[in-house]
Structure 1
Amino acid sequence: MTDLNLTPNVTQKASKPQWLVSTQNLVLFLLKNPTSAYGLFVLALLIILAIIGPLLATHDPYIQDLRNALQAPSAEHYFGTDELGRDIYSRLLYGTRISLTIIGIVSVVVGPIGLTIGTVAGYLGGKVDTVLMRITDIFLSFPSLILSLAFVAALGPSLYNAIIAISLTAWPPIARLARAETLTFRQTDYIAAARLQGASSFRIIWRSIVPMCLPSVIIRLTLNMAVVILTAAGLGFLGLGAQPPLPEWGAMIATGRRYMIDSWWVVTFPGIAIFCVSLGFNLLGDGLRDALDPKQLNRR
């Protein structure tokens, strides 16, 4: 694979991170690799379908038609119908909005929380580091799905409570990663120079350390999206996530599992959607690691 040139030229400021590249170069780099290109395609397709999904839908995803229940895929119903006669194809299209909502909210919440806790703990050290990391260890000591189930059980079953539960369980790995990166960066010469110039701890963390930790955090967030999708699907499958009649993919599998022997399409197409999106985010994360992580580039 052709390496992405991340070395700054002589006209760039010395403080500019080496990993900082234009969005256009980043996209071109990802498109050169078929696997990362697939991940980028899945993300773009998910966004497009979330926007224009209602225009592509052939039926109302909520209207029941018991006379056409469990109809096999046909020209009228591309992916067949479920046990209530609802068009599965249309429900999958509307379900992309739910999946994108989950991904977006979790990313916006988890990224800043994990990055802040990790960088503060790693830079300040001492008692602050001990307290923050012990809290992180408590969250890490439980499997994420089990902890999510506990939070949803306490908050009550709903889509947004499921998003809150997933967010509360997804930040600790980000915090651990940011702390490890910060422990490396805080020993560098430019951080020492900033201290000698009288920069406050907040300014050093925000202006010098956070930008250097962003590549690893973005990569980890992208890789975590597959886990987020699977966790949301698992909560929906157990009836603790999105509630009927919302067309969430995990909930669609849960309601159709009783008919999967004779009506395979009821669970097959939502399962394929979950698989493709999860695989896409994993492959996109691998591509971003090659593009944004200087350590990966230096090993090649």
Structure 2
Amino acid sequence: MAIVTNTATAPKPYSRAWLLSDRPESRHQARLGRAYVIWRQFSANRLALIGLGIILALVLVAIFADVLAPHNPVQGDLRNSRLLPPGSPGFLLGTDDQGRDILSRLLYGSRLTLFVVCLVAVIAAPIGLIVGTAAGYAGGWVDAVLMRITDIFLAFPKLVLALALVAALGPGIENAVLAIAVTSWPPYARIARAETLTFRNSEFISAVKLMGASPMRIVIRHVMPLCLSSLIVRVTLDMAGIILTAAGLGFLGLGAQPPLPEWGAMIASGRRFILDQWWVAGMPGVAILIVSLGFNLLGDGLRDALDPKEAGQ
């Protein structure tokens, strides 16, 4: 007697039931299912979606700034378009003291903002991850030395230490990025160390040791991936602080140098007209506010979505 299996009830690949299956048939299915659950929890948070929309808009504006900008961001007309208010013909957000269009400068300035944020994240996050996981897994004197170095960096206020480094290296956007990155990695090292300590003596780490894996392989292949979710959340939440630090350096003349349209430098040039021509400093301030808010909302949403306790509910 032949046995007929009913395949009609089997979930189709990439369907909702297939993604949410509690018995995945492959690693690929398990990873897609986990990503789908994270997206569902993230998309349920409306504020997180607003933050994601703000960041996506920032990225698109930075990519197409040369298409969207109505005027040259570094050249203006001192005779006919100096300090025009918002809504003037041809100048939606007004002009500055050099007759340059503020909207165009904001659009091009988004490129510098993304440049600083991305480069600092690329430099600081891996350094903190390596230091934290090495200290947490090795323990002993390695942990003591690495954490004391971390404490030294944490003892200084971030902006003050960045100012000292930029003053030593010289003004410029590259030196500002390097200074911010050097001052941003210690919190990531703390988080990575704490995460490593929670599962350093777990059973799966012991099993990997019995299989003959070296300490470096264990840290890179098994420990670091487990720390990534917490690190991603912290990096996203720190983006607003990175933007403010970069703007502070630009405001003091230690970041991007004129005539580059950096938002902090734009505020510095407009502080002389803050009472009568408020838009010169106000518009870049609003841009910093919106982008910082977007990163904070996005970070809060990622924190809720990547939290294992939240994901299990």
TM range (shorter): over 0.9
Q: Tell me if 1:245 matches 2:245.
A: no
Q: Provide Cα deviations, 1:200-221, integer angstroms capped at 9, x if missing partner.
A: 1011111111111000000000
- Tell me the equivalent position of 2:15: none
Q: Tell me if 1:11 matches 2:27.
A: no
Separation in 1, partners of 2:89, 2:37: 42
Q: Give 1:39 deviation, angstroms.
A: 1.0
Q: Give 1:240 deviation, angstroms.
A: 0.6
Aligned partner of 1:10: which letter?
R
Alignment of 1:162-173 (within 5 A): 162-173=176-187
Q: Provide Cα deviations, 1:167-225, integer angstroms capped at 9, x if missing partner.
A: 00000000000000000011211011111221110111111111110000000000010
Larger Cα-atom Rg: 2
Gaps of 5+ in 2: 1-18
Q: Tell me if 1:62 matches 2:69.
A: no
Indicate conservation of the 8 Å contact 2:39/2:305, yes or no.
no
SS at match of 2:74: coil
Q: Give 1:25 deviation, angstroms.
A: 5.6
Query: TM-score with structure 1 length normalisation?
Result: 0.92
Indicate conservation of the 8 Å contact 2:38/2:311, yes or no.
no
Separation in 1, partners of 2:246, 2:102: 19
- Tell me the equivalent position of 2:49: 37
Separation in 2, partners of 1:20, 1:117: 31
SS at match of 1:267: helix
Separation in 1, partners of 2:47, 2:251: 29
Indicate conservation of the 8 Å contact 1:66/1:84, yes or no.
yes
Indicate conservation of the 8 Å contact 2:83/2:94, yes or no.
yes
- Tell me the equivalent position of 1:71: 84
CA pair 19-130 structure 1, distance change in 2 beyond 3 A:
farther
Separation in 2, partners of 1:292, 1:18: 14
- Tell me the equivalent position of 1:181: 195
- Tell me the equivalent position of 2:219: 205
Q: Provide Cα deviations, 1:69-126, integer angstroms capped at 9, x if missing partner.
A: 1111123100000000000000000001000100110111111111011000000011
- Tell me the equivalent position of 1:3: none
Q: Give 1:292 deviation, angstroms.
A: 1.2
Separation in 1, partners of 2:149, 2:202: 28
Separation in 1, partners of 2:196, 2:26: 21
Indicate conservation of the 8 Å contact 2:41/2:311, yes or no.
no
Separation in 1, partners of 2:25, 2:301: 26
Indicate conservation of the 8 Å contact 1:252/1:267, yes or no.
yes
- Tell me the equivalent position of 1:108: 122
Indicate conservation of the 8 Å contact 1:19/1:292, yes or no.
no
Q: Tell me if 1:125 matches 2:139.
A: yes
Gaps of 5+ in 1: 1-5
SS at match of 1:21: helix
Aligned partner of 2:76: which letter?
Q
Separation in 2, partners of 1:123, 1:13: 30
SS at match of 1:59: coil
Q: Tell me if 1:21 matches 2:34.
A: yes
Aligned partner of 2:302: which letter?
L
Q: Provide Cα deviations, 1:20-40, integer angstroms capped at 9, x if missing partner.
A: 833x66445433311101110
Aligned partner of 1:42: which letter?
I
Indicate conservation of the 8 Å contact 2:173/2:257, yes or no.
yes
Separation in 2, partners of 1:216, 1:19: 20
Separation in 2, partners of 1:213, 1:291: 15
Q: Give 1:18 deviation, angstroms.
A: 8.4
- Tell me the equivalent position of 1:236: 250
Q: Give 1:297 deviation, angstroms.
A: 3.8
Separation in 2, partners of 1:289, 1:146: 29
Identity of matched residues, %? 56
Separation in 2, partners of 1:248, 1:12: 51
Bigger mean CA offset, 193-202 vs 217-226? 193-202
SS at match of 2:34: coil
SS at match of 1:187: coil
Q: Provide Cα deviations, 1:136-156, integer angstroms capped at 9, x if missing partner.
A: 000000110011001000000
CA pair 7-28 structure 1, distance change in 2 beyond 3 A:
closer
CA RMSD in angstroms comes to: 2.0
Q: Tell me if 1:90 matches 2:108.
A: no
